[in-house]
Amino acid sequence: MRWRDEGRSEDVEDRRGAGPIAGRGIRGLGLGGFVLLAVLSIVFKRNLFTLLDTGGGGPDSAPIATVPTSPEEEKLVHFVSFVLDDVQDTWTREFQSLGRPYPRAKLVLFSDATRSACGYAESAMGPFYCPADHKVYIDLGFYHELRRRFGAPGDFAQAYVLAHEVGHHVQDSLGLERRLRAAQERDPRQEKALSVRFELQADCLAGVWAHSTEQRSILEAGDVEEALGAAAAVGDDRIQQQTTGRVNPETWTHGSASERMRWFKTGLESGRVQNCDTFGRSG
């Protein structure tokens, strides 16, 4: 991928080294209380740590200064900054064509664990988007896992992951996330199936951005294959086969390897948001 090192994006919020316990109320917790609150946040899918914050946005509630990083990791921060800005610039243009403004998302970099408006976040959860605060969260260590554990190396594989998460922000900004939740509440039996469709749509939206990079000659030979390899590697069937030795489609949340590749290619080849209707088409 041809990218320019332009430093850090203004949309990056760096919490690496800060830990998940910034804030006066949280620092007053004992270890047992902190662990209990973290577990309850996961169970109830609500950020219960905010109940301890004093509010007001004072210095005690701000993230702690980050620790120094290696030149290699700083280069990775610059790379994800470039990708983030390029993805969001693309969506700014797409939204303009729809006659509406695009609200830029923030990218939170963290190490080990942090807080989000959607609850307690750990590295083991992988990258995710929180619609409650309009932020994408990622521990950069995931990219090492993507290469080593999932066998998906390459900078465009990394770019695909970020573009997918920003795709969720696009869905949220278009009101699609609210429609998904409403549909799941109406028919709880379809909750997982609808979730899969939603994730596949984010893959397609990532492909729409990839189409724009191809038009602007940012793509290099092998980049598309890297992205497709990453999409396949994080398919539910691949992950289940790798971790349990069995595949159970009824428990899928993101879609199979073939589905994820297919929808990414749909966005890549068409470059049209209208072609990303995963709810109205099969597979």
Which of 87, 77, 70 has its CA nearest to residue 13? Answer: 77
pLDDT at 70: 85
CA–CA separation, 219 and 209 (whole Å):
11
What confidence score (pLDDT) does residue 42 get?
61
250: left (phi over 0), alpha (psi -120 to 50) or beta: alpha
Q: Are 50 and 40 in contact (CB under 8 A)?
A: no
Question: Helix, strand or coil for residue 180?
Answer: helix
Please count the other Cβ atoms lying within 10 Å of the Cβ belonging to residue 178.
Answer: 12
Q: What is the mean pLDDT of each run of 10 residues along the chain (283 residues)?
A: 94 84 43 58 56 41 53 94 98 95 97 94 92 96 91 94 98 94 92 94 97 93 95 92 90 94 97 93 56
Cβ-Cβ contacts under 8 Å for 48 (sequence gap 6 or more): 37, 40, 41, 119
Q: Are 89 and 167 in contact (CB under 8 A)?
A: no
3 state DSSP class of 197? helix
pTM exceeding the 0.85 threshold for the entire prediction: no
Give exposure, 207-241, as e/b (b: 16+ Cβ within 10 Å).
Answer: bbbbbbbeeeebbeeebbebbbbbbbbbbbbbbbe
The answer to whether residues 250 and 168 touch, using CB atoms and an 8 Å cutoff, is no
Q: What is the structure's pLDDT at 281?
A: 63
Query: What is the pLDDT at residue 128?
Result: 96
Q: Give the number of residues written for the chain.
A: 283
